[in-house]
Amino acid sequence: MSKTSITALWSCIVLLAGTMSVHAAANSAIPETAAAEPLMPSPRDEALTAEEYRALVTDLESSAGAYASQLPESLFSLGVSLQSEGEHRAAIAAFKRGVHLARINDGLYCEQQVPMLQREIASHLALGQYAEADERQSYLYRVQMRAVENGKARAQAFMQQAHWQYTAYRLDLDGQGFARLMSMWDLYRLALNDIAGREGQASPALLEPLEGMLLAQYLIADQEPQGINGYQANIDNFSMQQQMNRFNAYRGQSYKKGQAVIQAIYDIQRAEHGEHSLETAQARRMLGDWKLWHGERESAMRAYREAIAELTPRDDAEEMIGTLFGKPVPLPDVAGASQLPPEADAGENSLQLRFTVNQRGKVEELERVDDNELDDAAANRLMRTLRKTPFRPRFALGEPQVTEAVTRSYAIQP
C-alpha cells in the first residue's frame, strides 16, 4: 500500500477513536506487570539473603540516617529478595518504605519509584489483593506520566496501563467494566499515536497497540446492549450516565473501528513482509474472523478466500494454507477475548464434547461423550455457549468444508 493510502487509513482510525485527553488517561488505573526498564536492577544470582539485606538497611540507617539517599535501592533489593522467598507482605512493606523515601529525596513523582511500585503491585496480585493493586496501579501511572519523557518508555506505560484495565475488567473490580474497556481502547490509542509520532505510521512497533485495540473492540462489541441499558436506567449519578452514553457510542462504532484496526495491521505487515507473506494472509484471515463473528458470513468468506489467494503464488502454499485453514477454530481467535474456557486434556474433571462445524461456521450435532461426574449445570452452560460460538470453518481447495467429529475437552471444577 502506498504512503498516501496508509495515511488515509490512519486518519480513519483517529476519527473513529473518539476523544480522550492525556489528563483523563492519567486519572485511570494501571497494569499488573512492568515491562519498562527498571531503574534499579534486580539482585544478581549471587545476591544476598533477605536477612543480609535487612542488616544492610540497618547499617545504612545507623551510619547515614533514616532518610539516607541510598536506602531506596537497598529496600528495593530487600523487597525483591523477600518476593523470591514468597514473603509478599514483608516485600510490600519494604517497597512502600522505599517509595516513601524516594519521594522525600527525589520528589513526589520521581522516576526512581517506578520499579518499586511495579514490584509492590506484583506482590499485591500474588496475595489476591486486587483493590490494593488497582490503587497502586493508578498511582504508578500518575508517576509515569509526570516522570517519564516522551519515547519508548512512555508508550510502554500507556500499554501497561491498558493491560491493567483489561485485567481489572476481567476481575470485575468495581462493576464498571464498560469504563475499563473504554480506557483500555483509549490508552492503546495513546500508545499508537506516541509510537507513530516517533517511528512513522508503518512501524512494526505499532502492531502491539493495534492488537490491543482489536481485543478491546471484541470486548466492547460483546457487551449485551440490554445489560448496558438496564444498568444505565438504574443509576442516578450524572457523571456515570455520561460514561454509559459514551460507551454506547463506542459500541455503536465498534464494527468500523475493528475493521480499521485490522486494515492497519495488514498494511504494516505488507510494508514489512511484502505481498504473499504468511503475515499478510493472517491479517486477511483476521478480517474474515471479525466479519464472521459479527454475522457477516458472505463477506467473511470473501476475506478468507483473499487470504488463501494471498498465499497461492508461494512454493509452500499448500502447507501455509493448511496452517491457516486446516481445522475449524472458535471465534474470536484473539487471546483474551474467547467466551470459551481453555481446552484441557481429557480426564476425570473435563467435559468432553463432539460436534460438527458446518460450512458456515455453525456448530451442529453437539453431544457430550464423557461419563464423568461433573456439575451438570456448569456443563450445560458451557454447551450453550459452544452452540452460540461461531467457528472459522476448515477450508480445502479454496472453499469452506463441513468438519465432522470435532472433539474438545474443557476442565470443569468438581
Mean predicted confidence (pLDDT) in 364-373: 93
Q: Do 350 and 371 meet the contact criterion of CB atoms below 8 Å apart? A: no
Residue 352: which residues within 8 A CB-CB, separation 6 or more?
346, 368, 369, 370, 372, 407, 408, 409
Q: Do domains 3-269 and 328-411 have the same CATH topology?
A: no
Tell me which residue of 17, 34, 13 sits closest to 153, measured CA to CA.
34
What is the share, in percent, of the chain residues with pLDDT greater than 90?
70
What is the residue extent of each domain of the chain? 3-269, 274-325, 328-411
Interval 297-346: pLDDT, tens: 999 999 999 999 999 999 999 999 999 999 999 999 999 999 899 999 88
Interval 171-199: pLDDT, tens: 998 888 899 999 999 999 999 999 999 99
* Residue-level pLDDT at 414: 60
Q: Is the pLDDT of residue 37 over 70?
A: no
Q: Is the pLDDT of residue 51 over 80?
A: yes
- Of residues 408 and 348, the one with the higher pLDDT is 408
Label residue 17 by pLDDT band (50, 70, 90): very low
C-alpha cell at 38: 527498571
Mean predicted confidence (pLDDT) in 274-288: 97
- Of residues 246 and 100, the one with the higher pLDDT is 100
Q: Is the pLDDT of residue 30 over 50?
A: no
* Residue-level pLDDT at 20: 36
**Global confidence as pTM:** 0.84
* Residue-level pLDDT at 23: 33
Interval 209-251: pLDDT, tens: 999 999 999 999 998 754 455 555 455 676 777 778 888 888 8
Cα–Cα distance measured from residue 77 to residue 39, given in angstroms and rounded to the nearest whole number: 12
Cα–Cα distance measured from residue 241 to residue 236, given in angstroms and rounded to the nearest whole number: 7
Task: Please give the mean pLDDT across all residues of the chain.
Answer: 87
* Residue-level pLDDT at 32: 38
Q: Is the pLDDT of residue 109 over 90?
A: yes
Label residue 10 by pLDDT band (50, 70, 90): low
Which fold is adopted by the domain 328-411? 3.30.1150
* Residue-level pLDDT at 138: 95
Residue 140: which residues within 8 A CB-CB, separation 6 or more?
30, 113, 114, 117, 118, 121
Cα–Cα distance measured from residue 180 to residue 166, given in angstroms and rounded to the nearest whole number: 7
- Of residues 238 and 369, the one with the higher pLDDT is 369
Cα–Cα distance measured from residue 220 to residue 185, given in angstroms and rounded to the nearest whole number: 9
Which fold is adopted by the domain 3-269? 1.25.40
